[in-house]
């Protein structure tokens, strides 16, 4: 049996950070996500639903984390949110 230790080289990659212009919309998205993360860490969340729209408005994505029994409730809450948003548009 061979008990020699093999050493491996680790290659460090320079991180690629894209320059982003801080604006009101970006700050709002980040604030909402940070609030949700804080509640998740505190164990206050059971389910989360997220609807995302790209800058050009073409791509819309939905994601959710829930138990099967919460899906109907999340859909209902998203429907109410949609209605409220449409009403706010005037």
Per-residue pLDDT of 3-60, as tens digits, reads 555 566 777 777 777 776 778 888 898 999 999 999 999 999 988 888 888 888 888 8
* Among 35, 52, 57, residue whose Cα is nearest residue 44: 35
Q: In this structure, what DSSP letter does residue 6 have?
A: P
pLDDT per residue as tens digits for the range 68-82? 788 888 888 888 988
Can you give 20-48 as a three-state secondary structure string?
CCCCHHHHHHHHHHHHHHHHHHCCCCCCE
**CA distance to 15, 21, 38, 55, 89, per residue, from 18 (Å):** 10, 10, 25, 16, 32
Q: What's the pLDDT score for residue 52?
A: 87
Model confidence, pTM: 0.58
Q: Token match 């680790």: residue?
A: 10
């Amino acid at each position: 049996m061979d008990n020699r230790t093999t050493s491996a080289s680790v290659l460090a990659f320079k991180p690629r950070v894209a320059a982003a212009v801080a604006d009101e919309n970006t700050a709002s998205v980040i604030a909402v996500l940070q609030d949700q993360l804080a509640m998740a860490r505190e164990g206050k969340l059971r389910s989360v639903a997220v609807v995302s729209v790209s800058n050009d408005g073409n791509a819309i994505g939905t994601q959710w984390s829930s138990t099967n029994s919460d899906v109907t409730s999340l859909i209902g809450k998203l429907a109410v949110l949609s209605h409220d948003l449409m009403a706010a548009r005037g």
